[in-house]
Amino acid sequence: MNARSTVEPLVVTPREACALLGIGNTRLYRLLGDKLLDSYKDGKSRRIPITSIKSYIAQRLAESMGARGRRATAPARRRGRPRKISEPAAAAAV
């Protein structure tokens, strides 16, 4: 049996971190720049510790949970152009 397959890596490359988090390269480097993920350079290669990825996920989960342990509901996003309001309706709204 291969011992390497049973050992969890301590660090991953940015490409592997993107795959683990399900995000793109730009978003990953934004997280690194905002210090939400830790990383270091090993020669020319960048490495991201798995502990940093796990703590980021735990932080995001904690933020998404409401005060009573329920998920906080985000307001519905409206897409597209805002609707035009007619003159009488706009005056009544003010």
Residue 23, classed as helix, strand or coil, is coil
Q: Is the overall model pTM greater than 0.75, yes or no?
A: no
Other C-beta atoms within 10 Å of 12: how many? 19
* In contact, 31 and 37? CB cutoff 8 Å: yes
84 compared with 63, residue with greater pLDDT: 63
Per-position DSSP letters for 53-83, written without gaps between them: HHHHHHHHHHHHB-TTSSBPPPPPPPPSSPP
Tens digit of each residue's pLDDT (9 = 90 or more) over 7-39: 889 999 999 999 999 999 999 999 999 999 999
54 compared with 78, residue with greater pLDDT: 54
| Alpha-carbon distances of 30 from 12, 35, 53, 70, rounded to whole Å | 17, 9, 14, 29
Q: Could you tell me the residue ranges of all domains in the chain?
A: 8-64
pLDDT confidence band for 61 (50 / 70 / 90): very high
Classify domain 8-64 by CATH number.
Answer: 1.10.1660.10
